[in-house]
Amino acid sequence: MNAHVLQADLSSALGNGIGVRIDQVLKIFETRDEDEVIALQGTSMTIAPGEFVAVVGPSGCGKSTLLSMVAGIEKPTQGSILIDDKSLDGPNPRTSVVFQSDYLLPWRTVIDNVLLPLAIKRLNVESYRERAESLLAQVGLAGFGQRFPGELSGGMRQRVAICRAIIQEPGLLLMDEPFGALDALTREQMIMDLQSLWLRLKNTVLFITHGIDEAVFLADRVVVMSPRPGRIDLEIKIDLPRPRKWNEIHQDDRFAEAVARVRRRFEERGILSAS
Ligand SMILES: Nc1ncnc2c1ncn2[C@@H]1O[C@H](COP(=O)(O)OP(=O)(O)O)[C@@H](O)[C@H]1O
Ligand SMILES: [Mg+2]
C-alpha cells in the first residue's frame, strides 16, 4: 500500500466537513459547596462545513467546557448546539476529539491504538490496517506500528493520538490544546503536519489553544474568548494563502497584524500586560 492510494481515498472525502452551530449557550457548574461556576454565558458561534476555527482565550475562560459540549460529553445548561443541523444528544459518530494528553492505551501497540475506535465500534479492523500504517507514515511514524506508547516521545505519542482521531475521517475534529505539552520544535512540526492533513481531509476543525501564533497560522478564523464567563470577544478572519510555512509566515505583515490584534485584545482585558 502506498501513499497514493490513501490520498485518493482521502480526497474522496473532500467537502466531508460537517457544520456546527452554537446558539446562546450558558453553562453553569454546581460545585460541591453549592456554589455555582458560570463557565460560559451567551456564547454563540457558527462553524461552516470544512472550516478551520481556532479558539484562543485565557486559562479558565471555558474553552474546554465549550469543546466538551460540542463533543457531546457535557450538556449546556441553556441554549443549543447543532451538529450537521441536528441537535446534539450525546457524542456524534462523525466527531473525533484530540486532548492535550494523548490517552493512548499503554498495553496496545501503536497501530492497535490507532485502530482502537474501529475495534470499539466492532468494525472490521483489518480493512483499516493499511490506512492506519499510511497515516502513521504521513506523520513521520513509518515503522513504529509495532512499538508500544511507552517507547515513544511525547510528540510521537500525540501524533499517534491524531492518527487515531482521523482514522475514520471525522467530519468534525475537535482539538483541545493538542500541542500544549510539546517542546517548541516538536510543536512546530506538528503544526505543519496538522496543516497538511487538514488540506487533504478538508474536514471541519475546532482547535483550542492558548498559542496565538499557532491559532493564526492554522485557522481560517480565530475566535478570541473573554475571561470567564467566556463569551466570544473578537473574531478575526485569516485570509493568508495555504500551504502556509511556519518560518515564512512570521515575515508576513498580515500574520503579524492578526497576532497583534489578539494580543491587544488580551491587553485590554488585562490578560496580558502591555509593558
Ligand atoms: N466539571 C466541573 N465542575 C466544576 N467546575 C468546572 C468543571 N469543569 C470546568 N469547571 C470550571 O469552569 C471554568 C472553565 O473551565 P475550562 O472550560 O476548563 O477552562 P479552559 O479550558 O478555558 O481553561 C473554570 O472556572 C473551571 O474551574
Ligand atoms: Mg482547557
Taking the domains of the chain in order of start, what are their residue ranges?
Answer: 3-105+170-268
Contact between residue 160 and residue 141 where contact means Cβ atoms under 8 Å apart: yes
Q: Is the pLDDT of residue 14 over 90?
A: no
Q: What's the CATH class of domain 3-105+170-268?
A: alpha beta
| Residue keyed to cell 458560570 | 38
Who's near 65: CB < 8 A, 6+ residues apart?
Answer: 27, 39, 40, 74, 230
Its pTM stands at: 0.92
Q: Please tell me the distance between residue 123's alpha carbon and the centre of ligand 2 in angstroms.
A: 32
How many Cβ atoms from other residues are within 10 Å of residue 93's Cβ?
11
Q: Please tell me the distance between residue 219's alpha carbon and the centre of ligand 1 in angstroms.
A: 24
Q: Apex CA 203: angle with CA 248 and CA 58, to 5°?
A: 65
Ligand 1 atom at shortest distance from the alpha carbon of 57: 22
Residues found in the chain: 275
Q: What is the distance between the alpha carbons of residues 174 and 99, in angstroms, rounded to a whole number?
A: 8
Q: Cis omega (within 30 of 0) on the bond before 243?
A: yes
Q: Cis omega (within 30 of 0) on the bond before 149?
A: no
Band (pLDDT 50/70/90 cuts) for residue 6 is very low
Cell of 221: 478564523
Give all strands (DSSP E) within the chain, no chain letters.
Answer: 20-30, 36-47, 52-56, 78-83, 86-87, 95-98, 172-176, 204-209, 221-225, 232-237
Band (pLDDT 50/70/90 cuts) for residue 178 is very high
Quote the distance between the C-alpha of residue 208 and its chain's center: 6
| Residue keyed to cell 475521517 | 169
Cell of 75: 450538556
- Long-range pairs, 246-249, Cβ under 8 A, ≥24: 246/188, 246/191, 246/192, 246/217, 249/217
Q: Please tell me the distance between residue 165's alpha carbon and the centre of ligand 2 in angstroms.
A: 19
Band (pLDDT 50/70/90 cuts) for residue 274 is low
Q: What is the distance between the alpha carbons of residues 54 and 209, in angstroms, rounded to a whole number?
A: 7
One-letter identity of residue 22 = I
Mean per-residue pLDDT for 166-179?
94
Which helix or strand (DSSP H or E) is residue 191 part of? helix 184-201
Contact between residue 164 and residue 11 where contact means Cβ atoms under 8 Å apart: no
Ligand 1 atom at shortest distance from the alpha carbon of 68: 17
Ligand 1 atom at shortest distance from the alpha carbon of 225: 22
Band (pLDDT 50/70/90 cuts) for residue 90 is confident
Q: What is the distance between the alpha carbons of residues 119 and 103, in angstroms, rounded to a whole number?
A: 16
Predicted local confidence at residue 215, as pLDDT: 97
Ligand 1 atom 16, closest CA: 62
Predicted local confidence at residue 10, as pLDDT: 42
Ligand 1 atom 5, closest CA: 29
Ligand 1 atom at shortest distance from the alpha carbon of 27: 12
Residues near ligand 1 (Cβ within 6 A): 29, 31, 37, 39, 57, 59-65, 228
Mean per-residue pLDDT for 216-244?
95
